[in-house]
Structure 1
Amino acid sequence: MQEVYITRMAKFLPYEPVSNDEMESVLGLVNGKPSKVRPIILRNNGIKTRHYAFGAGKETLTNAQLTAKAIEILYKDKEELKEMELLSCGTTSPDQVLPSHASMVHGALGIDPVEIASFSGACNTGMQAFKYAYLSVASGDTKNAVATGSERMSKLLTADKFQPEIDKVNEIESNGFIAFEKDFLRWMLSDGAGAALFQDKPNPDGVSLKVEWIDMTSFAGSLETCMYGGGVKEGSELIGYTDMTAEEWLNQSAFSLKQDTRLLGENIVPRGVDFLETVIKKRNFDTKSVDWFLPHLSSEFFRQKIHEELGRRNIELPLEVWYTNLSRLGNVGSASPYFMLEELMNEGKLKKGQKVFLMVPESARFSYTYALLTVV
């Protein structure tokens, strides 16, 4: 295994930021009524602005287009882009079931044949793409690789996606509001794409990030589904859309994103710290060495929860070393860790010798990534 360096980072955010007061005018009113939970969710999640890949009078950008734009920013020009040996893409929100997301990004770039890899799931897909790119270069299979994390959640959150379900409910009772598990995520998620270039040599000028290690795990063997789309939950069982009728797809908003907030609250923090204890032991890792801690937070609500749990386990990661951009960019799922790294790298915040530690939790069925990078 040879040393691997992140030599460039880039991000693409569509259009201008959308404020909390503007959200419902963009996403629309379900059944013509303002959401009852929107003010509560926004107060807890701490997000002030986010980006959407569409708006009144604007071209709707696909996930593949967002990702391609981030990659194009990564390179100086089309000629340099031709040197890419591997394209590794992760997303929660591909534009279609088939072809794969990486195939569509490759198509949007319009470049010569290149090896591709696609990862589907939720927040950790960006880090799965990240690790695949790292391992490709570390093994010597390629000299360079591009990894991406991207989301275009907004089109799953628009009011029209829920109207058939509301119409069905209104036949039975005068309710007019979608269930909390579905409304919750409408005010949490946003759009954008991040990209990282991995190479077998560091930058001759400026800083690079040497990848020390990346560790991942899943708790799906013992925990049920928490966040999901393309199906419905019956008790603890997830019923996928292929076992539903086309009528049920509409009447139950099967393709909307849903979150079991009870399961989320009970498990997301303690299971993540359980795995961190395993990583610390495996890597003989002293968290006191960390200069920058980049936790992917879905909500500011979890900042203090994580900090308190770390304290209970005697794991030292003081709030002074935490760095997030959730309030400005929103929760962009698989792209969020890329956005934090991009800001540190491109805004001159890093100094050689510093340690950068990433934490990426995923609530879909509880999986986690930790990664350690050294500034060189």
Structure 2
Amino acid sequence: MPVAYSNVYLQSAGMFLPGSPVDNAGMDAYVAPLNRISGRIKQRILAENGIQQRYYAIDGAGQTVFSNTQMAAGAITETLALAGKTLADVGYLSSGSSGGDALMPGFASMIQGEMAAPPMETLSVHGVCAASVGAMQAAAMAVESGAHSLALSVASEMPSRLFKRSRFAAQDYNTDFDAHFLRWMLSDGAGAVLLGGPKALPQANGLRLKLKWTHQRSFAGDYPVCMQLGLTPDRSKSHLDFPAWGDAEAAGALSLRQDIRLLPHLFDVCIHEYADLAHKGWVPERGIDHFLCHYSSERFIPVVDDLLGKAQLSIPRERWWSNLAWRGNTGAASIFIMMSEFLQKEGKRLKAGDTVLCFIPESGRFTAGYMLWEVELNTPVNQALQANFPHKIAASETIANDALPDVSTIAAPHDPATAPQQLAPLLTELASIWQDYRSNVWRTPLLRRIRTRELQSGDYVRWMSHWIPQVREGSLWMREGAASLTGDYATLASLIDL
């Protein structure tokens, strides 16, 4: 279930992007194609992802200009300045990243040291894109509990160091597509948010953002690794298992990889999870006013849009906002950078009562992350602490006289877009049921043997011995059920094709 808040407000959001923006033509000075095939991959990927410029914390010679820690510190500095605060005012710091400059200690500790910050509570969340959600959720809970009056959460990524041409020398440039792919997708940057209680600073027009809830859920038990660094291409061996780092690099264990064949499943999983949240009442029935969607490529916009539509949860495209085209994909930092720029550019358009939904899908091993904010007038504290956002929004209005919709208009289950409006709540509920069913099936012994290529003929025979009787019994039950449908319900029998 999501974590709900009644006492957490956004004080400010800042970002740090290193150097000058780099356009597509200028990328080769930082991330050079490895060979002719690599060049063609670059053209194909850039044509699809919609990114026009990005930022790198390395120079043309591959030397580090800003470390990951320094970028995080830069984002924090801007965030504190926007709120008129200093590090001495903050008692909690959480960080989210796929990796700092050192394997240990934790990234948050390194940031604290870099800034010579006073003693404080810290937390380092290690992951990929949704690491920012985990870090911010921890910071929000620190404020909500009353343990800290102000809490900082920062996310920073620096993948450019992995993409230098020299990194692939040990492999003689014979790098597979999965390793080529992310070289043209990811870039560097950092973002941060400062959270506090109801005495928050007003945003544009005397408004402020209240955090309603955060939610993250991992599906690592349902799907194989999609994005990884540190394993061989077949994921059978860790880089730590090799005699020397050079051997690990030659085997491709130090190349950042993305299995693009799995990516379409990520959005399917995440939208089903969102449908489940809506069914349980966590999404306002009137819809979302501003949608900040972290997608790695513009190619996935119609995918997300279509899935939301099928779940009867469409968000009009004019309400979507993204800065992917001119800031690039900065992994865990993306959503904080997006929030910072959204408030700078669109803050004046916000009005009291508006909702802002942040959606963060993570492809590492499939995690769905969400944050819901609501715009409030910056009223006195006693008025601001009104009834908390209900955990269960009122259900849809009951159909008049409890009448069923005309059964002749019921669409097939696989085509919710053409179903009557009255069926929208049911279809949303079925989507969440399907999510749980699919997850449970994925972990059955039979599916596990199929995934690990251990399936034997005996396994198949045992499965059939259970499956065939169930089909026979189920078919008999369905015939009897269809035969019992008469009168107003007779039309339903025609939908059962036996």
TM-score by length of 2: 0.70
Q: Quick check: 1:305 aligned with 2:303? A: yes
The answer to whether the 8 A contact 1:2-1:139 is kept is: no
Query: What does residue 67 of structure 1 align with?
Result: 72
CA deviations on 1:334-374 (whole Å, 9 max, x unpaired) are: 11111121112223343332100011000010001111101
CA distance in 2, matches of 1:94, 1:287: 40
Q: Which of 174, 183, 186 lines up with 1:186 in the alignment?
A: 183
Query: What does residue 328 of structure 1 align with?
Result: 326
CA distance in 2, matches of 1:304, 1:239: 37
The answer to whether the 8 A contact 2:30-2:59 is kept is: yes
Instruction: Report how many aligned residue pairs link the two structures.
Output: 364
SS in 1 for 2:89: coil
Ranges in structure 1 where 5+ consecutive residues have no aligned partner = 167-175
Deviation at 1:163, TM superposition (A): 1.0
Query: What does residue 140 of structure 1 align with?
Result: 146
Taking only the aligned residue pairs, the percentage that are identical comes to 33
SS in 1 for 2:118: coil
The answer to whether the 8 A contact 1:202-1:208 is kept is: no
Bigger shift: residues 54-63 or 142-151: 54-63
Deviation at 1:81, TM superposition (A): 2.0
Q: How does 1:1-376 map to 2 (within 5 A)?
A: 2-30=6-34, 35-56=39-60, 60-76=65-81, 80-166=86-172, 176-206=173-203, 207-234=207-234, 237-246=235-244, 247-265=246-264, 267-286=265-284, 288-347=286-345, 348-349=347-348, 350-376=350-376
CA distance in 1, matches of 2:103, 2:64: 22
Amino acid at match of 1:223: Y
SS in 2 for 1:87: strand
Deviation at 1:286, TM superposition (A): 3.2
Question: Residues 262 and 84 of structure 1: is their aligned pair in 2 closer, same or farther, counting only changes over 3 Å?
Answer: same
Question: Residues 136 and 79 of structure 1: is their aligned pair in 2 closer, same or farther, counting only changes over 3 Å?
Answer: closer
SS in 2 for 1:194: strand
The answer to whether the 8 A contact 1:356-1:373 is kept is: yes
Deviation at 1:274, TM superposition (A): 1.2
CA distance in 1, matches of 2:236, 2:325: 32
Q: Which of these two proteins has the greater Rg computed from alpha carbons?
A: 2
CA deviations on 1:112-165 (whole Å, 9 max, x unpaired) are: 111110011100111111101001101111111000111111101111111101
Deviation at 1:59, TM superposition (A): 5.6
Question: Residues 140 and 43 of structure 1: is their aligned pair in 2 closer, same or farther, counting only changes over 3 Å?
Answer: same
CA distance in 2, matches of 1:156, 1:192: 15
SS in 1 for 2:237: strand
CA deviations on 1:76-111 (whole Å, 9 max, x unpaired) are: 399722111101000013112101111111111112
Amino acid at match of 1:131: Q
Query: What does residue 173 of structure 1 align with?
Result: none
The answer to whether the 8 A contact 1:292-1:355 is kept is: yes
Deviation at 1:240, TM superposition (A): 2.1
Deviation at 1:32, TM superposition (A): 8.9
| RCO higher in structure (CA 8 A, sep ≥6) | 1
CA distance in 2, matches of 1:39, 1:186: 12
Question: Residues 287 and 230 of structure 1: is their aligned pair in 2 closer, same or farther, counting only changes over 3 Å?
Answer: farther
Higher helix share: 2
TM-score by length of 1: 0.92
The answer to whether the 8 A contact 1:294-1:359 is kept is: yes
Question: Residues 284 and 73 of structure 1: is their aligned pair in 2 closer, same or farther, counting only changes over 3 Å?
Answer: closer
CA distance in 2, matches of 1:132, 1:34: 41
Bigger shift: residues 274-283 or 347-356: 347-356
SS in 1 for 2:185: coil
Deviation at 1:31, TM superposition (A): 5.8
Deviation at 1:284, TM superposition (A): 4.1
CA distance in 2, matches of 1:303, 1:127: 21
Deviation at 1:275, TM superposition (A): 0.7
Amino acid at match of 1:306: V
SS in 1 for 2:110: helix
The answer to whether the 8 A contact 1:214-1:370 is kept is: yes
CA deviations on 1:185-207 (whole Å, 9 max, x unpaired) are: 00000001000000012434433
CA distance in 2, matches of 1:181, 1:160: 18
Amino acid at match of 2:279: K
SS in 1 for 2:81: coil
Bigger shift: residues 220-229 or 30-39: 30-39
The answer to whether the 8 A contact 1:30-1:160 is kept is: no
Provide the aligned C-alpha RMSD in A. 2.0
The answer to whether the 8 A contact 2:133-2:370 is kept is: no
CA deviations on 1:19-40 (whole Å, 9 max, x unpaired) are: 0011112123426986220000
CA deviations on 1:253-289 (whole Å, 9 max, x unpaired) are: 3222101111113x11110111111111233423643
Ranges in structure 2 where 5+ consecutive residues have no aligned partner = 377-498
Higher strand share: 1
